[in-house]
Every structure is written in C-alpha cells, then in structure tokens.
Amino acid sequence: MLLDTPSLYFRAFHGVPESVRAPDGAPVNAVRGLLDFLARLIRDHRPTRMVAAFDADWRPPWRVAAIGSYKTHRLSPEGGETVPDTLSPQVPVIEEVLDAVGLARIGVAGYEADDVIGTLAVAARVPVDIVTGDRDLFQLVRDDPVGARSPAAVRVLYTAARGVGRCEVVDEGYVAARYGIPGRAYADFALLRGDPSDGLPGVPGIGEKSAAALVNRFGTVAAAMAALDRGEDVPFAGKLAAARDYLSRAPVVVQVATDVPLPVYDDALPAAPRDPTRLVTLADRWALDSALNRLLAALAAT
C-alpha cells in the first residue's frame, strides 16, 4: 500500500475539527485524522507492506521549467506552497510519529510524492494499492491480463468523494468506463484535456470528449502528432498544431516519474513500534493516545 501522504493529511485537516488540540492548545486535527485513516486502511485492506510518500519538493523546478503555470495558483507571496497556518506545524509531527511507529516514510529531494509512488508502483512485483485523492495517479493503474490481482497489478483507492472508509477502487476498467479511453491512457488524456488543479492548461478547444476521441484513435499524443506531421487526416489538427510547443513540453509535467533514486527503506508493516519510548513521549505531548492505540491495534491484527 502506497500512501499519497500530503493528499491524506490535507483531507484529515479539513475533515477533523480544529478544536482537536494538544494540551498546550496546538491543533493536532491533521495528525489525529491521518492516524485514524491509517488504522482504517490497514484494518480494511490488510496490506503486508506500506510506504508513506511525501513531497520533498511540491513544485519541482524541472516541472516548472517545462510549464511555468504549474501549480502557480498555490504559490504563497513568499514563493512557497499556500498551506493553512495551523496545518504546517503538524506535518513534522506526522513525520515523527510515523518514524516512531516504524512505518516507512519516503521523500526524495527534487520530487513529489507522486513520483515516489510511481517509482515504487512500476517496480512492484506484488499487488499494489495506491491511496490518494489525486486523479493524476490514475495513470499508474495496471490490470492483470486475465483480470485477477496478479503480482504486477496496480489499482488506486480513490478517496476524493468518499474518504478512506469508502474508497472508489480504480483499475483499468474504471478508467475506461469513466473517461471512455483505454485503461492505461490517462496521462495522454490529461495532457490534452488539461488540469486546472495543477495549473496545466491543456490544448485550447479540446475537452474530455475530444481528448478521448484522439486517445482512442491514436493511442498517444506522440502518435497523433506524428500522424499530423505525415499529413494524415487528424481530428482537431489546427488545435493540435497550434499547441505543438505545449504538447512537446507538458509530458514531463503530466507523467509521474518512475526513476526516482530511492533511499534504502523497510516497508514491512511493524508488529510493534520501532521506538516505543519516543512514541509514548509523542503521544503525551500531542494527546494522541486514542488514535495511536487504534493504529497499533490494527497493526497487531495484520
């Protein structure tokens, strides 16, 4: 199980009241909510391995160099990410707690959590569940040829609409049914359609239906552009030609990296806390006893 941790702690922050506080009055709603999310996921899905992926760089320069508008709507006046003032101090607490519990936590300089997840998912030889509220990761779904959960299968547990308790299970069939495209074609579809949530403009005049039609006919944007260059009859040829520069630069933004240099890590679920003394200190400092007990009980039951 690969966790898009920023997606989950943002959801926890907005789903748990800020009245949930530590003894000194500091908000811990995101911490408490995330721990309960993890307990629920472990209890419901029984993973044997887990990695919590983090953004070491939420807006990597190499993506910004390709598309300058990438995530600009989320920039603060100081140039960092716009994050609620009461959430930012909770992120280091989340990191400390995960480390003390013994859950693998990976962030790699210059990369987003999505890239860590992409690298792990593509290399996996056991079934993978990706937990996220971000549709970008739909590009990683990978079914077994005969439809069973094979050692290479990857699916997304999509939390955006229902939360972690009732995730939508996204596989190739879901992508095909929802968007009318081949199950592994989401990245090319998103490249054409664009994604306002990431500041990705897409091709002007091409929406979901047009993008789906192009992907279904040509398979990839690169194949569509090659056909255009050969003088073939390509739908929306004028729009594609006008967007040639964008289409040459944007793939590096849309496509999740799958070659991130990962550190050494142990992704086995711990039966007991890695650092119980530290965990007790953190539980007392941040009033996390109940949430941690639920998480530890879920871990012990796996």
Residue 247 lies in a domain: no
Residue 115 lies in a domain: yes
Number of structural domains (the chain) is 1
Provide the sign of the torsion angle of the four alpha carbons 102, 104, 107, 113, taken in this order: negative
For residues 23 and 44, give the distance between their C-alpha atoms in angstroms, rounded to a whole number. Answer: 31
Spatial contact of 53 and 24, defined as CB atoms under 8 Å apart: no
Spatial contact of 21 and 287, defined as CB atoms under 8 Å apart: yes
Q: Among 159-163, 206-210, 276-280, name the one with the lowest average pLDDT.
A: 159-163
Residue 73: Cβ within 10 Å count: 11
Pairing type for strands 51-53 and 104-106 reads parallel
Residue 233 lies in a domain: no
Residues 163-206: tens digit of each pLDDT: 677 899 999 999 999 999 999 999 999 999 999 888 899 999 99
In this prediction the pTM is 0.95
CATH assignment at residue 23: 3.40.50.1010
Residue 223 lies in a domain: no
Residue 60 lies in a domain: yes
Q: Which domain holds residue 46?
A: 2-179+257-300
Residue 200 lies in a domain: no
Residues 117-153: tens digit of each pLDDT: 999 999 998 899 999 999 999 999 999 765 556 557 9
Residue 190 lies in a domain: no
For residues 224 and 191, give the distance between their C-alpha atoms in angstroms, rounded to a whole number. Answer: 13
